[in-house]
Amino acid sequence: MRYIKKSLIVLSLISVLGVAISCSSLREVQVNSSKLSESVYAVTDSLVVWDDALHFLVIGDWGRKGDYHQQDVANRMDEAAKRMDAEFVIALGDNFYPNGVASIDDPNWMFSYENVYKGYHLEIPWHVVLGNHDYRGNPQAQVDYTNKSQRWNMPSRYFDYEFTDEETGLYVHFLFLDTCPLEKKYYTEDAYANVKTQDSTKQIKWLDSLMISKPKADWTIFSGHHPLYSGGKRIEDTEQIRNSLQPILKRSNADVYFAGHEHDLQYIKPEGRTHHFISGAGSEVRRTGMIEGMSKFAASVQGFMAVSITKEHMLVQVINYKGNIIYTTEIKKE
């Protein structure tokens, strides 16, 4: 009887210890799971979402087959698009590294686009411009892919898009530029021979004609690959594009100009009406910096921008590949 009692006591102790060990392990798993959840879904928890606003995402310099945190950025974009109920994505060029695509059947479409931005909430229109690396391949193939894809939208080398909301009356005019032909240096480099097929004067005339033919918008937003200002690597290499586009932005009363090309995230506000944002951190990044008296923000980290617009205000939230909101600014309509 004593032996049986002792055995029962031992078994009971083992059972209790087993439960304790099991519970301890369970708590550790739960803590780790919680940490993972906070890391992955931070953008969902902290993202500011305005009611009755137009929401969209902005990304540039991204096509690297998922590498350099491209896949992480894509996942955070999907979460942000879900939380905001985003209408579309603006893609700012250098869509495929290193040399664009060869055709509409190039494998890079799958490796760098379709299989990376595969989240359900990114199955929305992508309004896309060409970058210099895209000109190293077959830029017309990216135009033609519009007819193959339900979400890729590049109907021509440059185009516009008008967003209207009947309930709020919001009217935003988006203009998408082909900036490579505006850079003279590309005309002397064999890698960019395709720019010689474009007429930059024709594009400028087209822009001016839109300002005459279209009604006055609540917001006028330009997007192109090359920035007019930068505190990054090309701080001294923006004069050419600035000379070409600055007069157009001024004549058009442009509120915002989105650009890529610099592999970083920046917000620059020079004198005048136009706010300049660089969102070129879709994959590989470089060191960046600030322009004295103009730069409001600069970061060398992979990420994108989430934008919300009402008739009177614009909110820009900069989100890194971990889902952290690293900068926010609100612009009041002038």
The angle at the Cα of 79, spanning 74 to 83, to the nearest 5 degrees, equals 145
**Helix (H, G, I), strand (E, B), or coil: what is residue 321?**
coil
What pLDDT, on a 0 to 100 scale, did the predictor assign at position 38?
41
Please say if the pLDDT value at position 263 is more than 50: yes
| Tokens coding 224 | 């192109």
Please say if the pLDDT value at position 30 is more than 90: no
The angle at the Cα of 46, spanning 44 to 47, to the nearest 5 degrees, equals 70
| Tokens coding 120 | 């359900």
Global pTM reads 0.87
What pLDDT, on a 0 to 100 scale, did the predictor assign at position 106?
98
User: What radius of gyration, in Å, describes the C-alpha atoms of the chain?
Assistant: 25
- Of 218-222, 232-236, 304-308, which range is least confident? 232-236
What pLDDT, on a 0 to 100 scale, did the predictor assign at position 267?
98
| Tokens coding 84 | 């905001």
Specify the amino acid at residue 126: W
**Helix (H, G, I), strand (E, B), or coil: what is residue 19?**
helix
CA 136, chain centre distance (Å): 22
Query: In a 10 Å sphere around its CB, with 0-12 CB exposed, 13-18 middle and 19+ buried, how is residue 291 labelled?
Result: middle
Query: In a 10 Å sphere around its CB, with 0-12 CB exposed, 13-18 middle and 19+ buried, how is residue 191 labelled?
Result: middle
How far apart, in whole angstroms, are the C-alpha atoms of residue 224 and residue 257? Answer: 8
| Tokens coding 235 | 């701080």
How far apart, in whole angstroms, are the C-alpha atoms of residue 42 and residue 75? Answer: 12
Task: Label residue 45 by pLDDT band (50, 70, 90).
Answer: confident
Neighbours of 146 (CB within 10 A): 18
How far apart, in whole angstroms, are the C-alpha atoms of residue 103 and residue 87? Answer: 28
- Do 260 and 278 contact (CB within 8 A), yes or no? yes
Please say if the pLDDT value at position 29 is more than 80: no
| Interval 133-164: pLDDT, tens | 999 999 999 999 999 999 999 999 999 999 99
β-pairing, 152-153 with 159-164? unpaired
How far apart, in whole angstroms, are the C-alpha atoms of residue 284 and residue 286? Answer: 7
Task: Label residue 39 by pLDDT band (50, 70, 90).
Answer: very low
DSSP 8-state symbol, 217: P
| Tokens coding 261 | 């090309």
**Helix (H, G, I), strand (E, B), or coil: what is residue 224?**
coil
What pLDDT, on a 0 to 100 scale, did the predictor assign at position 19?
34
Please say if the pLDDT value at position 31 is more than 90: no
Region at 100 (left for phi over 0; alpha for psi -120 to 50; beta for the rest): left
| Interval 85-129: pLDDT, tens | 999 999 999 999 999 999 999 999 999 999 999 999 999 999 999
- As a whole number, mean pLDDT of residues 43-51 equals 87
In the chain, the percentage of residues whose pLDDT exceeds 70 is 87
How far apart, in whole angstroms, are the C-alpha atoms of residue 156 and residue 177? Answer: 10
Task: Label residue 58 by pLDDT band (50, 70, 90).
Answer: very high
| Interval 157-203: pLDDT, tens | 999 999 999 999 999 999 999 999 999 999 999 999 999 999 999 99
Mean pLDDT of the chain: 89
Please say if the pLDDT value at position 42 is more than 80: no
Listed residue (88, 14, 10, 86) closest to 43, CA to CA: 86
Task: Label residue 323 by pLDDT band (50, 70, 90).
Answer: very high
